[in-house]
Amino acid sequence: MKSARNHRAYWAFLGHRLSGLALALFLPAHFYVLAMALDEARLDGFLKLAEMPAMKVGEWGLVLLLTLHMFFGLRLLALELLPWNSTRDARIAWIGWGFAVSMATGLVFISGVI
């Protein structure tokens, strides 16, 4: 019998949960940087740090996490709310399309950043 953990739907579930967790961990740092806007000197110092290549890679990772979480979440909403008279393969195809659009968005973002 095939393990459920080797199924695409399991990996979509895991990608959705882990990207959501990573975004939740990022949120306090985001609010901290927004609070820096109250002090112009601190914000200028951070913006110089944000120009480093490692930060650009981090921004790219953030865009990938956001798009993965969005598309896998939309997939879950579609599974919950739409009537599914189609085949199981059509539902599985949503996983591939969500992943592909996320990667394409990441590539467009990184090409504009570099």
* Whether the predicted pLDDT of 83 surpasses 80: no
Binding site, by residue number, is: 69
pLDDT digits (tens, 9 = 90+) for 88-113: 677 778 888 888 888 898 889 888 86
Question: What residues form the annotated binding site for heme?
Answer: 69
Spatial contact of 15 and 65, defined as CB atoms under 8 Å apart: no
* Helices within 1-114 (DSSP H only): 8-36, 40-49, 53-81, 88-113
Q: What pLDDT score does 43 carry?
A: 84
